[in-house]
């Protein structure tokens, strides 16, 4: 019955649901939560690498909506972008606490991209699950500023313009970070692949011994 009554909310915009929830409509709040929580949770999970941190962040993001002075302005962007913006701040706070930080943070926006890898398919020879896991680890290992553009634009299919609003930077910066992020990802995947090939090469010798 609850699901049935929730159906009437599915056609409403995020802003409509926000108005309703501000007027005390619990189902509007639940509908908005169910519509947006997955993306926020995945973003937090990719960024933090911790399920418990992602859970906390998701909860905090939607709690912010309940505050009367939550700061959302529909003139400045979408509600989805606003939620991602809060999630990003919470992720940064989480990373600063050192609970799930990642290495290799560099000031590389100013560094010219290195030559891209020459291997045509860095995931070739891996099963689908192996390839996905290798890629997930590589995304996780990216410096934070590159990781967030990959997660937003590639893994949550956000367009560059909206990502620029969430990240508070010009669209050109998003584009250049994306370019650099992909180069770093390819580099990382190729680095991971070389030892694997070496291990594969040793196997017949080990069996022979």
Partner 1 sequence: MNCQQFWNTLPQRGSEITEEHSGHLAACSACAGQWEPQKALAAGLHSLLEDWRQREAPERVEAGLTAAFRVHSGPQVRRPVRHSWFPPVFAWTSAAAAMVTIALVLMHGWHPASARPDRFAAPHRPAQNMPVVASVADSDSDDESSVLDDGFVRLPNAARLEPNEAYDFVTVAFPGSYMIALGLPLNEDRASDTVLAKVALGADGTARALRLVADGETF
The residues, ordered by sequence, that sit 6+ positions from 32 with a Cβ below 8 Å of its Cβ are: 14, 17, 18, 21, 65, 79
Which positions lie near partner 1, rule CB under 8 A?
A: 21, 24, 26, 29-30, 33-34, 37-38, 40-42, 45, 54-56, 58-60, 62-63, 66-67, 116-124, 128, 131-132, 135-136, 139, 150, 153-157, 159-160, 175, 179, 182, 185-186, 189
- CA pair distance 117, 12, nearest whole angstrom: 46
Closest approach of Cβ 203 to partner 1, in Å? 25
Nearer to partner 1 among residue 55 and residue 202 (C-beta): 55
Each as own residue / partner, the long-range contacts of residues 28-35 (CB below 8 Å, 24 or more positions apart, any chain) are 29/65, 29/66, 30/6, 31/6, 32/65, 32/79, 33/62, 34/6
Instruction: Kindly list the distances between the CA atom of residue 137 and the CA atoms of 70, 149, 179, 181, in Å, as whole numbers in the listed order.
Output: 34, 16, 19, 14
- CA pair distance 125, 51, nearest whole angstrom: 30
Closest approach of Cβ 168 to partner 1, in Å? 19
Nearer to partner 1 among residue 55 and residue 208 (C-beta): 55
Nearer to partner 1 among residue 56 and residue 77 (C-beta): 56
The residues, ordered by sequence, that sit 6+ positions from 188 with a Cβ below 8 Å of its Cβ are: 138, 141, 142
Closest approach of Cβ 186 to partner 1, in Å? 5
Instruction: Kindly list the distances between the CA atom of residue 91 and the CA atoms of 50, 76, 78, 85, in Å, as whole numbers in the listed order.
Output: 11, 22, 20, 10
Closest approach of Cβ 37 to partner 1, in Å? 5
Closest approach of Cβ 76 to partner 1, in Å? 22
Nearer to partner 1 among residue 20 and residue 145 (C-beta): 20
Nearer to partner 1 among residue 109 and residue 202 (C-beta): 109
Closest approach of Cβ 115 to partner 1, in Å? 8
- CA pair distance 131, 116, nearest whole angstrom: 19
Nearer to partner 1 among residue 111 and residue 209 (C-beta): 111
């Amino acid at each position: 019955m609850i699901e049935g009554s929730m159906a009437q909310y599915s056609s409403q915009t995020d802003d409509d649901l926000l108005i309703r929830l501000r007027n005390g409509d619990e189902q509007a709040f639940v509908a908005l939560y169910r519509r947006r929580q997955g993306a926020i949770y995945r973003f937090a999970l990719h960024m933090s690498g911790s399920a418990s941190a992602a859970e906390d962040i998701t909860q905090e993001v939607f709690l912010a909506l309940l505050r009367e002075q939550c700061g959302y302005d529909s003139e400045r962007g979408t509600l989805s972008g606003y939620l991602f913006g809060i999630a990003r701040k919470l992720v940064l706070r989480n990373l600063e606490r050192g609970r799930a930080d990642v290495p290799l943070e560099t000031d590389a926006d100013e560094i010219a991209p290195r030559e891209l890898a020459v291997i045509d398919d860095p995931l070739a020879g891996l099963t689908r699950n192996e390839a996905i896991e290798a890629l997930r680890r590589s995304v996780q290992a990216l410096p934070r500023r590159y990781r967030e553009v990959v997660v937003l634009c590639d893994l949550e299919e956000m367009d560059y313009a909206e990502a620029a609003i969430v990240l508070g930077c010009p669209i050109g910066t998003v584009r250049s970070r994306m370019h650099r992020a992909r180069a770093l990802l390819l580099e990382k995947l190729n680095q991971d692949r070389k030892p694997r090939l070496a291990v594969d090469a040793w196997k017949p010798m080990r069996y022979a011994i």
